[in-house]
A and B are shown apart, each in its own frame.
Chain A
Amino acid sequence: DQQVKQNSPSLSVQEGRISILNCDYTNSMFDYFLWYKKYPAEGPTFLISISSIKDKNEDGRFTVFLNKSAKHLSLHIVPSQPGDSAVYFCAASETGANNLFFGTGTRLTVIP
């Protein structure tokens, strides 16, 4: 049973515009959320995270929003750049656990 879901397998965005990637989760015990970026033939690279005590975290062009009541988080990339083209995974964990639960990923293509 997939506890973390990314319902959009792919997304195409024009360079300079905003990219919004969405993620939903079912386990209410999750209290920490992360976004990873993955290029082909490479391991996932940590991008940004958010704790459940916050509803927003910003790092440069990347902002993650958390809506706990809806069990939904999103990653905003502004402005999008061609180098952002990759597969983005969201992941979730709960306090005290060592494992991350990953979503199925969204392939972002930024068109120059």
Chain B
Amino acid sequence: DTEVTQTPKHLVMGMTNKKSLKCEQHMGHRAMYWYKQKAKKPPELMFVYSYEKLSINESVPSRFSPECPNSSLLNLHLHALQPEDSALYLCASSQVPTYEQYFGPGTRLTVT
């Protein structure tokens, strides 16, 4: 299994809603990542978990809250988002240490 899955594929939420994005991999990877990608821009790193511990937080606002319940799962909890947070949210995983990251298909988030 060389797949990273993400749910949901699309999400529309209001600025007062609370929602969660989910990511799962069964490749035995011990590093997992959240990226944000706006149109015509490269993916921007948000968070890195290594061995289920948060190792990098790229100064992301607290309205984004990551969680890594186990080595296969990664969640991103969303609360009180702004319209400018609308983007494609990508999850990735990799071995530790390695450089090749494997990406999921992303969740297209629209904040209204």
When the two chains form the complex, which single residue of B4, B45, B97 contacts A43, counting CB atoms closer than 8 Å? B4
Knowing A42-B106, A98-B55, A98-B56, the reply to whether A49 touches B42 (Cβ < 8 A) is no
For B43, B94, B102, which residue has the most chain A Cβ atoms within 10 angstroms? B43
A72-91 CB contacts (< 8 Å) to partner B? 89
Contact, CB under 8 Å: B102 / A46: yes
Contact, CB under 8 Å: A89 / B42: yes
C-beta contact mask, A75-112 vs B, less than 8 Å → 1, else 0? 00000000000000100010010111011110000000
Knowing A34-B99, A93-B99, A104-B41, the reply to whether A98 touches B31 (Cβ < 8 A) is yes
A32 within 8 Å of B (CB atoms): yes
B22-57 CB contacts (< 8 Å) to partner A? 31, 33, 40-43, 45, 48, 50, 55-56
C-beta contact mask, A40-79 vs B, less than 8 Å → 1, else 0? 0111111001000000000000000000000000000000
Knowing A43-B90, A98-B55, the reply to whether A49 touches B99 (Cβ < 8 A) is yes
| A to B contact number (C-beta, < 8 Å) | 57
B84-112 CB contacts (< 8 Å) to partner A? 90-92, 94, 96-97, 99-106, 108
The CA of A51 and the CA of B102, in the complex, are separated in Å by 18
The CA of A59 and the CA of B33, in the complex, are separated in Å by 26
Contact, CB under 8 Å: B42 / A43: no
* Across-interface contacts of A42 in B (CB, < 8 A): 105-106
Closest chain B CB from A103 CB (angstroms): 6
Chain A residues in the interface with B (C-beta under 8 A): 4, 32, 34, 36, 41-46, 49, 89, 93, 96, 98-100, 102-105
The 6 A-B pairs at the shortest CB distance, nearest first, are namely A43-B103, A102-B42, A32-B99, A98-B48, A44-B103, A99-B45
